[in-house]
Structure 1
Amino acid sequence: MKRIGYFGVLVFLTSQMAFADQVEPEQVERSLSLRANWMTLTRDLMMHPTWAAEGDAFHYKLSVKNGFQFFRDTVERGEPKLAFNHQDIAGALSQTSGEDIDALQLPFDRFRYADNGQSIHFYYAGQSWKCQLNDATCSAMTRQTRPKAFGVVRDLRVDAHNVPHDSPNGRYRAYVEKNNLVVETSAGEPVFKTSDGKSEHFYDPESIQWAPDGSSLVVMKVTPGDARLITRVMTAPEDQLQPRNIVQLYPKPGDAVDKDQPVLVQMAEKEAHVIDNELFGQPYQIDRVEWQEDSSSFTFRYTERGHQLVRLIDVNAETAEPQALVTERSDTFVNQWGTFFQPLHEGNKGAIWLSERDGWAHLYHYNGAGEVVNQITRGEWRVRSVVHVDEERQQIWFSASGMYPEQDPYFEHYYRVNFDGSGLTALTEGNANHQVSFSADMQYYISLRSRTDLPDIAELRRTKDGSLVRELARADISRLTAAGFKPPETFVAKGRDGETDIWGLIVKPQNFDPEKRYPVIENIYAGPHSSFVPKTFWPFGLHSGGDKVIGMQALADLGFIVVQIDGMGTGNRSKAFHDVAWQDLADSGFPDRILWHKAAADKYSWYDIEDGVGIYGASAGGQSTVAGLMFHPEFYTVGVGFAGCYDNRMDKISWNEQWMGYPVGEHYADSSVVEHAELLEGQLLIINGEQDSNVDPASTMQLVDALINADKDFDLLVVPGGGHSVGRSSGPIRYIQRRQFDFFLRHLGQRETPDWNRITSEKSD
């Protein structure tokens, strides 16, 4: 036998070890194609049931062989038929958009009929579309209103939609001319005109609203906010060689917003009254202007800068005097992402209002004097949405979660209750999440019942007693199961207070072996505006802020355990649970997440966190990913951050001021990972689309600059032309996902990844 020295043995063993731990290209390719291969394996899984504006007709999306189709039906008929000719629509949309569209993979989930059923409207590729059904032609619909950046600053580069607003009684029409309000008769004779309108204080034609009887109108006089413009360079446009500049109106935290001042014009007196703004003098936003049906007053919602004070203001149409029907205050934030209110028009009027003042989101009944008549719902559970308010019957239909202690507290159920709080009636049942759609007359509803481990069951029921009319669809996942799908495991552990349950999901590899140990990766999204761990069955597509189960499964199949957790600071639990995020987005629920991981490791021998946990996320999840590596480096050691808002001062005004408050202070810097670049440990891959219109791409480049200045190593992938969802639903998805997979395989899995440059060269040969 030939003798070799120590060095030769070391080289031999190292090469053998590298070979044994090498990932084969086929393994990665299977994960990259998992979603496409599994997407069409379900049958009869209903999505997005939609009722007609009147009558008993409805339509829905249904999984069929090789894809999806839309069907329509009625309560009485019970004979579903195709909602339109899918082949014709696919062909017309392909021709107009330039994209190759499959009739069984139409790129929209919902549509509505228009023009007496002769056309359909839907949203696709960032804009609204209209397709005529008789001649199968499709066209993008032109936006008619002036854009309002993040809802608070009008884009004055775009002309307002200044068409005459006719009064309901047909006597007058109103419009804006040279920044002033003009009212004339229907015959064009001048009746009233303001003279104080200027470019710096203009009357907004799109805000004109007539009283139902035509006796008055309300219009907003606007003091424009800061016109902050950011410029992005499209370095590789598809239609030309040279780069192109893209300019976007993009207000950021601390910027001045448009200040809307309501003005009441009384037609009998031909007088304009500027409404006293003592009750709404520091607006972040004034919205939801609505007249009483008897024209006696109009209401609007006032959100004060800082999101700690919200009022429902009622303005008397005769006296022009405002009063606060409702005043809502919070020491932290009033959650405008989970709000509901509805002015009442009968009796002594008033409003139905959603508040978290007792620690949970509940409904309150106010009278016309601004007094609380009664609290309608109460308990350690929260109202999630209000579907319908029936003033005649004094009843409310709503959804709620957390009412059943034995169930997942995020599962939604639907109920009916009387204004006085009596008669609480459940309309759904079973240990599952429910999605319900009601007919226009509230006589019927379609309920979709599912869990991550329970495929959807769609039922048509009667609202009066919840009785079953018929089962509409029952999902068949036998082919999906045969292909290897297994539902994720729900896991619950105590949070930082030792009492609160923290809920999450565990996704295992398809070839899972309980005798092995698997490194763990967390898919993080900790945005306070909602909760994010999936609760319904559908495992494909996108989830707000991160992958759904199949995206996690694809990564798990490479030899990982992949999890998703809703820590404190996220929504849909108690007010105290939510308040953890207040002025501290760097917290990201990490104390709860780390305890959750440790509890899972204590329970399962295969849950390996000894050498650190991987983490990835997009947008706010990107910020949390980097925060994990910086602020908890003893626990999180490898991260991939997509499109992160790494410094909340650089991101859009609306989301960040809601949770970080106003004015901008040192707490913004405290949560910034850019300001703490010197703390980075572990391995980091940053991925960003250069055309991100949601988070200013400069946020990413400022983090890169700070890391370079701190002499830190990291990987960076900038995708030319990529948007905010790069790596999720746009751009070269396969390439970006493969880079993410490779990064975790090398740095967390300690495995050698394929030589993709060689492989792609061989393929091209």
Structure 2
Amino acid sequence: MRTKALCYLLCLLGMAFGTESASAQVTRADYQRADTILKCSELVYSPAVHPEWIDSSHYFWYKNHEKEGDFFYLVNAENGKKQRAADKKGLAAFFSKKQKQLAESLLKEEERKPDRWRRRDEAPEPVVSPDKKWEAYVKDNNLYLSPVQDEKDKGKQKEEIALTMDGTTNLRYDGGAVIWSPDSRKLATVKVRDVKERRIPLIESSPSSQKQPILQWRDYAKPGDVLPVYLPVLFDVEARKQIVLDVAPYENQFYLNLTGWREDSRAFTFEFNQRGHQRYVIGEVNVADGSIRHLVDEQTKTFIYYYNNYRYDLNDGKELLWISERDGWRHLYLIDGTNGQVKQQVTKGEWVVRHVDHVDEAGRVVYFTASGFNKGEDPYNLHYCRINLDGTGFTDMTPEDGNHHVTFSADRNYFTDVYSRPDLPPVSLLKRTADASPVAELQKCDVSGLQAKGWQIPEVFSAKGRDGKTDIWGNIYRPMNFDASRSYPVVEMIYAGPHDSHVDKDFKPVHHLISKLVELGFIVVSIDGMGTSNRSKAFHDVCWKNLKDAGFPDRIAWMKAAGAKYKYMDLERVGIYGWSAGGQNAMAALLFHNDFYKVAVALCGCHDNRMDKIWWNEQWMGYPIDASYSASSNVDNAYLLKGKLLLINGELDDNVDPASTLQVVSALMKAGKNFEQLYLPGKTHSLGGPFEMHKMHDFFVKNLLNQEPPAWE
């Protein structure tokens, strides 16, 4: 209750100081209010329901924050009946004796199991054959077989059968990739041509363990580096011989993974990502003769975003469900596993499949999330859908206008559906899966208490992009006690990484990286421009070999449209800030668009894509390395800088090489450019702590509000 009282006090302070400080000097009180604004989320009642389904039953429970305190609800999904208790233990009283097991399940703590992630170069355990007669393992870089020992034979010297003798340190067989055929007669793994991976040095300048700095090293492959090569190999266990495979077509690879055997042992499969990410293959190896055929051979002139790939094998591989952008939108295709031809384009239209959740093989139905098919609605809003594998029966199971998150009962007969938007507090529903009909409304979020204190709900805003046709979407955030008669500087929080879309689509009463800055007297915007994901392939392809673009022409057009509508948005005072790829974008604004952006803060930026991790940068900038890398480099283009720039990064950043920022510093110095830098000892890639945020806020106050920030306490 003390927290709630404090929150009320802070919000009242917002009313007291908001208007005055908006036109006068920014004071320490404004900073204190901004620093504690996150606590105002306590005034949000009945937020999104997060259900905890109880084992295989149709019961679930959830915790709800209400004006009177926090309460717990037990819900019967079959009829929507809710029972309320003051604490979790109180829920157990609602169970009958027959439901004792459910009550025990409700009270038990979740067992957390350790991750079983293993580096590919670590020695794995022997892999036992399905018939339990053999175990396969790698020793001295070669592949061996041994009979599985009975209990009585434990401790005796085991028989070893060498299947290979040509393994070396740099050309080894991978025991971690061994897969047995279901009939135990065949064995597959990969032969690895190893390379020594690049390492980057990190200097921990101020360790707690000693006075002197500590030099650390990180494995860190960069674009253009030589990569290891993984090639499939097949063995006939009974004949003790290798079956020769033609693997030459797969030498030029980013990676190759084995993906399992067919149930009848006729073949095993692998997935191959060609270096450069413009070709992706699902191969099937016939064990009878070692021949390889391609079930999928996806090719493009730009890039295949392999992290968004989805594959599901049906009927022992006689059919495959595959995701592809071959028609210009991300959709599902049913592939004939006997010849690799498309049997059916399952989903179709100018919208995208976002994630496949479940495939009902017996019913031949696929459940998935999608976005963009409702005209007039934000095209990024997630909806939960289903469709038959023959392309009929498409159903939007969550038709309400908003971004949806669903959670199913164990038998998938019921689900909760929570939908919201940045401008719509969450509504939590309970629905039946069979017909998507509502069972009950669980909760409806109440933010009236927060609004009464002056809080401004974010605005979802859309405007035409660079082509004058494509809708660009973003959010506008205004300070408490906003005054439309004033003039506000505009600051964009940017992240233009092509691997996703990034503007919030869920309701958030406060935002850790936005709300504090807003309360100091700024309007903050976030926008998804061209070059980001979850729209058409053409929309996404704008980033290809062109990360410096970052959707800036769309972002600027969007802000100009917003400024034309809202005269209080001062587009003569525009700033920008971002982290990581957003740090690269923020600095790029002052290089390539400095007629519009005037002030930038770049945190832990990847300022040259040749300096950053291989998997992310070759995905968008391509391979081999060419002039496009230099064209998008903040280092090579540092001489173009105009405006006020603050660079912030940490010395122990092992996500983005700290040298990337230091090379920018060097280039700016050589070009005689004025800028500021904050190099943080002991900090990693996670920058958002109070010190660096305070420095960023001061930078915008000084350079956009044209005021001297208050002295630090």
- TM-score, length basis structure 2: 0.88
Decide whether aligned partners of structure 1 residues 637 and 697 sit closer, same or farther in structure 2, where only a CA change above 3 A counts: same
How far apart, CA to CA, are the structure 2 residues paired with 1:687 and 1:440? 47
Pair 248,71 (structure 1): closer, same or farther in 2 beyond 3 Å: farther
Distance 2:73 2:143 in 1: 48
Aligned match of 1:493 = 463
Q: 1:647 aligns with which of 575, 588, 608?
A: 608
Q: Distance in 2 between matches of 1:44 and 1:81?
A: 15
Alpha-carbon spacing, 1:116–1:173, altered in 2? closer, same or farther (3 Å): farther
Aligned to 1:361: 330
Equivalent of 1:34, from 37, 53, 56? 37
The letter for the 2-side match of 1:120 is: E
Distance apart, 1:145 and its partner CA: 4.2
**Which of the residues 282, 286, 308 maps onto 2:252?**
282
Cα distance between partner residues in 2 of 1:294 and 1:559 = 67
1:432-443 superposed matches below 5 A: 432-443=402-413
Larger RCO (CA under 8 A, 6+ residues apart): 2
**1:84 Cα shift?**
8.2
1:272 aligned onto 2:274: no
1:684 CA drift (Å): 0.5
Call closer, same or farther: CA 1:62–1:572 in 2, change over 3 Å. farther
1:201 corresponds to: 171
Match of 2:690 among 691, 712, 734: 734
Is the deviation greater in 60-69 or in 359-368? 60-69
Matched to 2:650, the amino acid is G
Contact between 1:234 and 1:244, CA under 8 Å: does it hold in 2? yes
CA distance in 2, matches of 1:470, 1:265: 58
Show the counterpart of 1:755. 711
Partner SS for 1:609: strand
Contact 1:46 1:60 survives alignment (8 Å): no
Q: Give me the whole-angstrom Cα distance separating, in 1, the residues matched to 2:324 and 2:195.
A: 30
| Aligned: 1:178 with 2:136 | no
Instruction: Return the alpha-carbon distance in structure 2 between the equivalents of residues 493 and 60 of structure 1.
Output: 39
Aligned partner of 1:685 in structure 2 is 646
Report if aligned partners of 1:584, 1:671 keep a CA contact under 8 Å in 2. Answer: yes
2 CA distance for matches of 1:218 and 1:79?
Answer: 55
Which residue of the partner structure matches residue 120 of structure 1?
A: 110
SS of alignment partner, residue 246 of structure 1: strand
Q: Evaluate the alpha carbon distance shift between residue 585 and residue 628 of structure 1 in structure 2; reply closer, same or farther with a 3 A threshold.
A: same
Aligned 8 A contact 1:71 1:83 in 2: no
* Residue 406 (structure 1) aligned with residue 406 (structure 2): no
2:232 paired with 1:262: yes
TM-score for both structures, normalised by structure 1:
0.82
CA contact 2:322–2:333 (8 Å) conserved in 1 = yes
Cα distance in structure 2, aligned partners of 1:718 and 1:64: 44
Provide the residue aligned with 2:48 in structure 1.
46
Does the CA contact (< 8 Å) of 1:253 and 1:657 recur in 2? yes
Query: How many residues are aligned here?
Result: 669
- Cα deviation for residue 71 of structure 1 reads 8.4
Partner of 2:318 in structure 1?
A: 349
> Does the 8 Å CA contact 2:455/2:481 hold for their aligned counterparts?
no
- 3-state SS of paired residue (1:578): helix
CA contact (8 A) 2:177 2:258 kept: no
Which AA in structure 2 matches 1:574? S
Q: CA deviation at 1:31?
A: 0.9
Going from structure 1 to structure 2, the CA distance change for 1:463 and 1:587 (only over 3 Å counts) comes to same
Corresponding residue for 1:713? 674
Q: Which residue of 2 aligns with 1:625?
A: 586
Cross-structure match for 1:592: 554
**Distance in structure 2 (CA, Å) of the matches to 1:679 and 1:260:** 43
Deviation string, structure 1 residues 440-462 (Cα, Å, up to 9, x no partner):
43322221111112222222322
Q: Aligned pair in 2 of structure 1 residues 528, 60: CA closer, same or farther (>3 Å)?
A: farther
Q: Specify the SS of the correspondent of 2:280.
A: strand
List runs of 5+ in structure 1 lacking aligned partners.
1-17, 86-114, 123-129, 131-140, 148-153, 541-548, 728-732, 761-765
- Written as runs of structure 1 = structure 2, the 5 A alignment for 1:94-243 is 120=110, 141=114, 144-147=116-119, 156=121, 160-187=122-149, 188-243=158-213
Structure 2 CA distance for aligned equivalents of residues 517 and 387 of structure 1: 47
User: What corresponds to 1:24 in structure 2?
Assistant: 27
Measured against aligned partners, the alpha-carbon deviations of 1:542-576 in whole angstroms (never above 9, x if no partner) come to xxxxxxx4532221221111101111101110011
Secondary structure in 1 matching 2:514:
helix
Q: Is the 8 A contact 1:455 1:476 kept in 2?
A: yes
Correspondence for 2:310 among 340, 353, 359: 340
Letter matched to residue 170 of structure 2: E
User: What displacement does 1:710 show?
Assistant: 1.0
The aligned counterpart of 2:479 is 509
Equivalent residue in structure 1 for 2:700, among 744, 757, 760: 744
Tell me the residue number matched to 1:315: 285
The share of aligned pairs that are identical, in percent, is 44
> Could you tell me how far 1:290 is from its partner in structure 2?
2.3
Taking the TM superposition and a 5 Å limit, the aligned residue runs for 1:498-647 are 498-540=468-510, 549-610=511-572, 612-647=573-608
CA-to-aligned-CA distance 1:38-78 (integer Å, 9 cap, x gap): 24333332365565785556676765789999988774696
SS at match of 1:551: coil
CA-based RMSD? 2.8
Contact map agreement 2:163 2:242 (CA 8 A) in 1: no
| Distance in 1 of aligned mates of 2:74 and 2:505 | 27
Q: Structure 2: which 5+ residue stretches go unaligned?
A: 1-20, 90-104, 150-157
> Which residue number corresponds to residue 13 of structure 2?
none
C-alpha distance after superposition, 1:634-656 (max 9, x if no partner): 11110001000000000000110
CA–CA distance in 1 between the matches of 2:401 and 2:164?
61
SS of match in other structure, 2:250: coil
Measure the CA separation in 2 of the matches of 1:615 and 1:481.
27
Q: Quick one: structure 1 residues 48 and 205, their matched pair in 2 at CA, closer, same or farther if it must change by over 3 Å?
A: farther
1:285 CA displacement: 1.2
Does the alignment pair 1:393 with 2:363?
yes
Which residues in structure 2 correspond to 1:437-516 (within 5 Å)?
437-516=407-486
SS of 1:701's partner is: helix
